[in-house]
Amino acid sequence: MKKIILLLAIFLLLIFTTITKNSAKKIEKQIYNSKENLRILEQKYEMVLLDFHYLSSPEKLMEYQSRYFENELKEIDITNLKKLSLIQNEIQIEQFIDLKNE
């Protein structure tokens, strides 16, 4: 009886080992594929980012501004800017720039 139990245990362990090994192999393959996909996506992302940085560079933005938004965008005088702060549930409006030293 003991021998049968021992053989059965060995047999079961063999099966479990095989299953685990196969699963590990599958997971390894999936990890490899994911890494490769990620690498390609990263490369694409870097290229898109480069495009974005080029297209949104100050020189390009000025070009778009003069071409499309000439009358819509205007400079704001910093002395006209205000700061909003929430103090004890009340909104307080202050000058953005302190003009007392001017």
CA quadruple 26, 28, 30, 35: dihedral, nearest 10: -170
Nearest-approach distance from CB 97 to other proteins, in angstroms: 4
Contacts with other proteins in 23-42 (CB under 8 A)?
none
What six digits make up the tokens of 20? 């685990």
Instruction: Decide: is 6 part of the binding site for other proteins (CB under 8 A).
Output: no
Nearest-approach distance from CB 71 to other proteins, in angstroms: 20
User: In a 10 Å sphere around its CB, with 0-12 CB exposed, 13-18 middle and 19+ buried, how is residue 97 labelled?
Assistant: middle
Residues of this chain that interact with other proteins (CB under 8 A) are 46-47, 49-50, 53-54, 57-59, 76, 78-79, 96-99, 101-102
